Structure 1
Amino acid sequence: MRVSSLIISVSFISFLTACGGGSKGGTKPPVNQSSATISSLATSLGTSSLSSSSLLSSAASISSAASSISSVASSVASVSELVVVDQFGYLPDAQKIAVLRDPQTGYDSAESFTPSASISLVDMTTGETLFSAAPVAWKAGATDTSSGDKAWWFDFSSVTTPGTYAVVDKTQNLRSPTFKIAADVYKPVLKHALRTFFYQRAGFAKELPYAEAAWADGASHIGAGQDKNARIYNDKSNAATEKDLSGGWYDAGDYNKYTTWAADYVITLLHAYLENPAAWTDDFNIPESNNGIPDILDEVKWGVDWLKKMQDATGDNSVLTIVGLASGSPPSAATGRSYYGTASTNATMSTAGAFALASKVFADVPAWASYATDLNVRAENAWAWAVANPSVTFFNNDEARQPGSGGLGAGQQEPIDWSNGMASTKDRAIKKRMAAIYLFAATGGATYKSHIEADYTNADLEIYSDPFHEMENTSLLYYSSLPGVTPSVASDIKTWFKNDMNGGTENWNAMTSKKDPYLAYIKDYVWGSNGNKASKGSMFTDVIEYEISGLDTTIAKNSALTYINYLHGVNPQGMVYLSNMYSLGAHSSANEFYHTWFGDGTAKWDRVGTSIYGPAPGFLTGGPNPSYDWDGFCTGSPNDSRCGGAAPNPPKGQPAQKAYKDFNTSWPLNSWSVTENSNGYQSNYLRLLSKFVN
């Protein structure tokens, strides 16, 4: 990856010539196409030890190619936010549908567009028209309530020739952003997306050649009183409570580390690996690259190493819940103390599952054989503690439920049953079932099989109305594929999943009935909708992965890809919902998002085109959230001057798919409910995208 990383860094300037920013929210970054400037920026951002002559040669080659495409582009049409495509591109044999949009309601309703009778696919290198067809009106010209748009589809799936293209309305002189058709079109995107976990590592220096120079930083949270000497939350002056809880990943845009969620990320990433090992090579340019082990497994091991520290392996084998970390930008600037929360059943059972699946996968890595054996022992010990202690809870940042925990972390990691305000017994049961599945996979133990087969009918397999239980259902489908499972149980699970996918109007029928003009239907847009889009896509790939009979695999594949296309630009914003992806040719990428490192007002890492560098590339943002509002404080009297006259619109007051703004402000405007990243969204996206990388 070192050579390709350099090329990506050098190409950053070349691709800025096509950069426009998100609809109603974008700002065009500065452009300079000279080789000298490209060389200068590459020196700043570069990640390679190649010679300067090689650098200039690469820069000149890239600049020449960009100039060729730019010359054709200028003679073809102007890029329009009303013609949206996957801005990275499409696989040769994939369904390829561009969406042409006419806004009726929402922030862009003043725009007006009716496509011409013929739309063309143009080769942006030669200017040749390869294909033309009439656009097809979605639902005979109806307005979609979720987006506020009328739409037309231009299907160019028949074009399979690799190349660089745009969808063009020649009559109106409008076109889509440039994109590629190529067999490897998603591999560079996958690399950036996985590398976000490297940037999220706590207690680890981000140094060249692995970090781009723009986002290099020293190891964070390892100073006095921080992660290596973390103290318990309710006895902060007691040095006897100190533990080394360093490592792990920042969970999201905050730096806190949550055990249950980290265990979930480990499991999701391991499924991503198991479902398509060929995608996961050893060249993602992380410090462990070129060690003969797929880089995704190296990254997972980083997370598992931290989970091991959270377990009381020399005591009762329970697992702590959370480490609360101080803020700072960059992360190494954080100086505040670190504190931890006590163990819980949920955290311990979640970790048991993660240890078990990791032990099974890592056992196939010869260098990690003893490590895998240790994880197996830890998993069984964690299970035993959680079974013996089925109702131990810990609520962080919640003085009412857990006195003294105020300020410890941000998001609540203890699942709550909102019908009664108590800890959720249902969620603990889910975690126990999942842990049993992965322990059975790792050990073949009868105890685990007995629990699963006595309990699986209590699972939330009825998921046609939402994707929130996708992870649970994947674990059950995985169980159905294991040797030694009772055949009738395996059949029940697959039949149940098939019926839920095929029933109602939210899954299979939503795709075959063309329910969403942007082709990536979800019923509810809530906080983290982009993560839900990725999960929904994986529900369709599960049909293929687990050989669900009676459901067409071509429909499943095409449906899964539409969720990728949505996240890559086929949405009302015409935005790639990944941060700062101009180096890979994105025309409009998320320019900013809520993250403590890349915060509002930081001179180096705020908005692309305003700050020096913008945020690091590849982070999936939260996504449209129509429930967004500013803090309730802003409705008081007197208003704080930081609130402004009204809540930002967008995202407030918009159709669901337009409830998005490219912003990163903190309290009281609370952009985190719209743009904040999460390792959960990221791992869901990585799992889905990797299915289509070879």
Structure 2
Amino acid sequence: MLKFGLKQYIPLAVAMLSFATVSHAATAYINQVGYRTGEAKEFALVDGNGSVEIADANGQTVLTATPSAASYWGPSGQNVQLVDFSDLKVPGTYSIKVGGQVLRSDLKISDKTFEEVAKASLKWYYYQRASMALDEAYAGKWKRAAGHTNASVQLHSSTGASGTINSTKGWYDAGDYGRYTVNSGITTYTLLSLYEHFPDYFNTLKWNIPAEGNLPDLLAEIKWNLDWMLTMQASDGGVYHKLTSLDFPGDVMPAKDKAALYVIGKSTAGTFDFAGVMAVAARVYKPFDASYASQCLEAAKKAYAWGLANPDRNFLGNPEGVSTGTYANDDPTDEKLFAGTELYISTGDASYKVAGSTEYVSWWGGMDGIATYGKATHATEFGGDAAEAKQNILKTADMFVERAQTGFGVIMNEDDFAWGSNSSAANQGVWLLHAYYLTGDSKYYATAVKAMDYLLGKNPLDMSFLTGYGTKSPKMPHHRPSTSDGVAEPVPGMLVGGPQPGGEDIGTESWECSDYRTGKPATSYTDNRCSYATNEVAINWNAPFAYLAGAIEALSAGYAPKFAAFPSTVAIKPAVVHRTSVKQGPQLRFADQMLYVEKNGKRFNLKGHRIK
């Protein structure tokens, strides 16, 4: 008799036998864009029994893998097994089989796996340019006329001033045509940091956009938004909060949106955001245009001084008659920390140093995580503050690594499924890469890649959240140009917001959604234009995705940030796949018309005799 006590399994065995004829088919969830040739690889399996076979294009089995113990993933309410197939290293397209049944035939392995999605997610910013016609030579079938070209814009009374300013360029913020200083802050910083960390890689990477002078494509794109941000600084150094119409436009192309534009509000948070971004820009653009870099640095200093003098000029909500995005903020201390950190890095002036770091991943309303990056990666400048920042990064990164060992093998928990949940996944990946930069420990790199896996298909919705990429991707994002341009496919390279259970867009009006909530946060999503709560796009969501994809490609090409803890020539090795710490007890399995007990990789029949 087996030591684990077979008798207790007999009732369950009978139940499984009666259920066998109607059992659910297994489902494999994969990164639909692909996996890198020489690195760790993993997909998720639900309702699978027994081993997994991976077959090549000729139908020949090239690898057999044993799934991990099943673990429950609360956000989707599923029991999930993880399948490690890291030993498969030959480029190609493969099939996944369980019990002889082909679950899917789109498993791809390649080199430079994320280069195209990195370029696509960066090129999307070109498609979001205001005040510029998108020529067919660059935009293809998504060409369009210029929108919002009027330079003179009325100052709203909420700015505390009157008259007009000249303000053009910039990126449309999301699915609408507003431009917001606060959200531009974290977005522009993230893209600037991608270049600053990997300049040699991005000096040569191109994705067919009109580039200014001798600037690399990434810096040319960022400058379009920096130029707009500079127009939003008042003569006293303060920065206006946003540039929008009084209400959101209808589903029209930019050139058809004729509503009057206003500069609205002036905020401490927006001003500090501006100061931090301009301080980074001063460093990054100096080798290309010293005069522009100087302009950015002086603007940063002036903004910081205004922020210190006006610590409570908070934008708490829209003024009467305005209903566009708020980006409200009643506590700008994190933005001050960000601005002071970057100004100190750029100037060496200790008066800019601000104490503090955090264990929390950044978002547009919480910039202290970005300050933590700056301090941790500049140990010489920040000394003890850098050591504290590093420990904060590693503490959270270790928690992320542990989370990724079970469920869908991703970092997210139920609390992460808030508005823009996909940006949470991407920003968690960026955090993990910083832990990798600081230690050289490949477990952080491997877990960051798992964030990409989730965003590109290894999730309970079985879809890539990036338009135009993957076997199944969003077709109807909440994005006015994609709705009204007459092109069947949406603009490519957009990361949609992702699942979350808030249901803010559900209602009975013609423009609202029917209830798509499932009771589980990770599956509460609809690919519908009505869903601004799950299917809208935004510049601050695309930025961490672009950073994650671009940094992974740069690292794999042999580049490393100069501040990294490992040599400048990087050879990424497959990380050890960290298995769940849950010990796998006896498991009932059903395969090949036979019910058996499996324990520690060995199989026994119901009489307790070893069969394999």
Q: TM-score, normalised by structure 2?
A: 0.80
Aligned to 2:346: 442
Structure 1 residue runs without a partner (length 5+):
1-79, 103-113, 416-423, 605-611, 635-639, 666-670
The answer (yes or no) to whether the contact 1:81–1:574 under 8 Å persists in 2 is no
Q: Deviations over 1:329-360 (max 9, x none)?
A: 22121111111113222211111111100001
Please list, as runs of the form range in 1=range in 2, the aligned pairs for 1:281-360 lying within 5 A after superposition.
281-288=204-211, 292-312=214-234, 315-325=235-245, 327=249, 328-360=251-283
Pair 572,155 (structure 1): closer, same or farther in 2 beyond 3 Å: same
The answer (yes or no) to whether the contact 1:138–1:150 under 8 Å persists in 2 is yes
Aligned to 1:462: 359
1:171 aligned onto 2:68: no
Distance 1:467 1:337 in 2: 30
Q: Deviations over 1:295-333 (max 9, x none)?
A: 111111111100111112xx2122111001463522121
Match among 482, 503, 515 for residue 628 of structure 1: 503
Please list, as runs of the form range in 1=range in 2, the aligned pairs for 1:99-498 lying within 5 A after superposition.
99-102=44-47, 114-115=48-49, 117-124=50-57, 126-139=58-71, 143-169=72-98, 171-172=100-101, 174-213=102-141, 215-222=142-149, 227-234=150-157, 241-280=163-202, 281-288=204-211, 292-312=214-234, 315-325=235-245, 327=249, 328-365=251-288, 368-395=289-316, 398=318, 402=319, 404-407=320-323, 409-410=324-325, 412-415=326-329, 424-425=330-331, 428-449=332-353, 452=354, 455-456=355-356, 459=357, 461-463=358-360, 471-482=367-378, 484-498=380-394
Aligned to 2:34: 89
Please list, as runs of the form range in 1=range in 2, the aligned pairs for 1:454-603 lying within 5 A after superposition.
455-456=355-356, 459=357, 461-463=358-360, 471-482=367-378, 484-502=380-398, 506-511=399-404, 514-524=405-415, 525-547=417-439, 553-581=441-469, 586-599=470-483, 602=484
Aligned to 1:106: none
The answer (yes or no) to whether the contact 1:282–1:293 under 8 Å persists in 2 is no
TM-aligned CA deviation for residue 484 of structure 1: 4.8
**SS at 1:136 equivalent:** coil
**SS at 1:675 equivalent:** coil
- Percent identity over paired residues: 26
The answer (yes or no) to whether the contact 2:54–2:97 under 8 Å persists in 1 is yes
Distance 2:510 2:226 in 1: 44
Runs of 4+ more than 6 Å apart: 466-470
Which letter maps to 1:434?
A: F
Please say which of residues 327-336 and 526-535 is displaced more in the overlay.
Answer: 327-336
Distance 1:96 1:282 in 2: 26
Which letter maps to 1:510?
A: R
Distance 2:485 2:340 in 1: 49
Which letter maps to 1:475?
A: A
Output the aligned Cα RMSD: 2.6
1:677 aligned onto 2:550: no
Pair 468,123 (structure 1): closer, same or farther in 2 beyond 3 Å: farther
Pair 90,262 (structure 1): closer, same or farther in 2 beyond 3 Å: same
Aligned to 1:72: none
Structure 2 residue runs without a partner (length 5+):
1-24, 558-612
Which letter maps to 1:258?
A: Y
Please say which of residues 315-324 and 479-488 is displaced more in the overlay.
Answer: 479-488
Q: TM-score, normalised by structure 1?
A: 0.71
Distance 1:491 1:673 in 2: 39
**SS at 1:688 equivalent:** helix
Which letter maps to 1:662?
A: D
Distance 1:477 1:383 in 2: 20
Distance 1:120 1:262 in 2: 47
Which letter maps to 1:414?
A: A
Alignment: residue pair count: 525
The answer (yes or no) to whether the contact 2:345–2:381 under 8 Å persists in 1 is no
Distance 1:572 1:268 in 2: 28
Pair 429,692 (structure 1): closer, same or farther in 2 beyond 3 Å: same
The answer (yes or no) to whether the contact 1:263–1:350 under 8 Å persists in 2 is yes
Which letter maps to 1:338?
A: L
Pair 94,292 (structure 1): closer, same or farther in 2 beyond 3 Å: farther
**SS at 2:243 equivalent:** strand
TM-aligned CA deviation for residue 679 of structure 1: 0.7
Which letter maps to 1:131?
A: L
Q: Deviations over 1:283-306 (max 9, x none)?
A: 1111118x5432111111111100
Pair 132,660 (structure 1): closer, same or farther in 2 beyond 3 Å: same
Q: Deviations over 1:112-157 (max 9, x none)?
A: xx34x33222223x44332122333423xxx432112222222110
Pair 447,566 (structure 1): closer, same or farther in 2 beyond 3 Å: same
TM-aligned CA deviation for residue 649 of structure 1: 4.5
Distance 1:321 1:474 in 2: 21
Q: Deviations over 1:17-46 (max 9, x none)?
A: xxxxxxxxxxxxxxxxxxxxxxxxxxxxxx
Pair 93,523 (structure 1): closer, same or farther in 2 beyond 3 Å: farther
Distance 1:414 1:641 in 2: 28
Pair 180,515 (structure 1): closer, same or farther in 2 beyond 3 Å: closer
